[in-house]
Amino acid sequence: MMYTSYCIGILAILFSKASHWLAAARGFAVLAVLAFALRFFMPSPTAQLVCLAFCWAGLGGCVAYAIYLYVFVLNNPERLFGVLLIAFAHGMFMCLIGLGISGVFLTIVLPAMLTLLSAACIFLVKPLDISAPQTQPQAPHPSIWLSTVFFALLFILDSASSFIFTHQSLVAQVVNGIGVFVAILLSVIIQIIYKQSVWHMWNLFFVLSFLCHLLPLVSNTGLIFDIASFLHGILYVGYIAIFYTISGIYKKHGSIQLLKKNLFRMFGLVAPSLVVLGLMERYWPQSVTPFIIVGSATLFFVFVLMSPLFQRYFFGADWVKDFGRLDMQPLIEKVEETDHFENLGLSPREREVCVLLLKGFALRQIAANLHIAYPTVNTYYTSLYRKLNINSKGELFARFGVQLDNSAEEDP
């Protein structure tokens, strides 16, 4: 129920215009604080549960605006640190609950502090101009759809698998939390120390996912189940990878409008799915484990089948090197640079080609960057030179006051 309320809060804020998101998020922050406080004045457990649901919906509204900040404002190190911090908080809570350290502090004081802190962050953030129309490619980059679909499926799968691995015993909760800490350590080793591709994190996630969901079939108690819970904690390496990569993909190839549409589609799918999972956990708990095993196996094999697409549009693409830099260079910045050529009689695509030529791109590189055929780029190239009345890249660079790089040779 709480997960569903959380998704509803995210969906609710998406109905407003992007320019009104901050005001809406502040309203949801007030709702979260008031609902959390009113919970303690409610006489019946049902009324308290309703207040908690409103609190989670309010937090979901805050998170909707936080997603925008996470994607379009933070740089690569900040995004990686942010998702590692989220993972650390999750692992810490699992260990504290499993160790029996609950009481007033964990059930009242700490949640109250986190709710107030979330509201304070929303009210302290400076208003940003996100109302300006965003220029974006006519067709969204394929990596956006690939990552968004997998994120939605992983969210649903995690919501269901948490029922198996975190509600059986206190020991399972502790080892699950320790597994999350191991996932953080692995992420730091792969991304920061050895600077390897997130491809390794994704592969590790899918292998461990299939294994940890298979072990409960052997035994749902004892040492084997505790090992499965530990592996489930390590699965957080996949969530760290998907949060980090999907945010970079949207900053590189997406826009606020596209993010808004896809969040609406994604959580519109997730919310009813969580309702179905909640009903399964309550009335048919014996069906949850087979469902998760089949789901994780299906996801694993779908990922294997789609790996050529991931390799082509994501892991093998030149732009993925941006993850090793301070920040992603948004594609929209490249498009906005074409405004400098507004009065030269060039078409929008010719302006894009001109920008990339001035950056030293060869025609084949431009074709790959703009996702169009090489002969098409050559046509724009010829038309561009004719309209500007120039005959070489040297003349093009001189025309716009750009120093010609030795590597920027003429295309045949």
pLDDT of 112 reads: 92
What DSSP string runs through 268-321? HHHHHHHHHHHHHHHH-GGGHHHHHHHHHHHHHHHHHHHHHHHIIIIITSGGGG
To the nearest whole percent, how much of the chain has pLDDT over 70? 87
Q: In this model, does residue 85 exceed pLDDT 60?
A: yes
| 333 burial level (CB within 10 Å; 0-12, 13-18, 19+) | exposed
User: Which tens digit of pLDDT belongs to each residue from 337-362?
Assistant: 544 566 677 777 888 888 888 777 78
Contacts of 147 (CB under 8 A, 6+ apart): 242, 245, 246, 249, 314
Residue given tokens 């605006």 in the structure block: 65
Burial class (CB in 10 A: 0-12, 13-18, 19+), 273: buried
Residue 181 or residue 343, greater confidence: 181
Backbone φ and ψ for 44, nearest 5 degrees, come out as: -105, 150
> Higher model confidence: residue 345 or residue 141?
345
Q: Is the pLDDT of residue 410 over 50?
A: no
Mean pLDDT of 234-241: 88
pLDDT higher than threshold 60 for residue 123: yes
Of 394, 366, 398, 368, nearest in space to 381 by CA: 366
Residue pair 77/50 in contact (Cβ under 8 Å)? The answer is no
Give the pLDDT of residue 239. 85
Of 79-88, 173-182, 209-218, 232-241, the one with minimum mean pLDDT is 209-218
Q: How far is CA 267 from CA 160, 263, 295, in A?
A: 16, 6, 18
Residues 6+ apart with CB under 8 A from 378: 363
Give the pLDDT score at 409: 45
Residue whose C-alpha is closest to residue 69's, from 259, 349, 340: 259
* Whole-Å CA distances, 218 to 209, 231, 280, 281: 15, 15, 22, 21
pLDDT at position 242: 85
Tokens representing 314? 């994501």
Against a cut of 0.85, is the pTM above it?
no
Q: Give me 261's structure tokens.
A: 């549409």
The pLDDT, as a whole number, for residue 171 is 86
Cα separation of the two ends of the chain: 63
Selected residue with higher pLDDT from 171 and 151: 171
Q: What mean pLDDT comes out for the span 283-299?
A: 76
pLDDT for residue 63 is more than 50: yes
Structural Rg of the chain based on CA atoms: 25
Please tell me the predicted confidence (pLDDT) of residue 340: 58
pLDDT of residue 343: 67
Assess whether pLDDT exceeds 60 at residue 372: yes
What is the band of 405 on the pLDDT scale with cuts at 50, 70, 90?
very low
The larger pLDDT score, comparing residue 324 to residue 318, is at 324
Q: Which two tokens stand for residue 195?
A: 């600077």
CA distance 214 to 218: 7
Going by C-alpha positions, the residue among 14, 324, 46, 265 that lies closest to residue 145 is 265
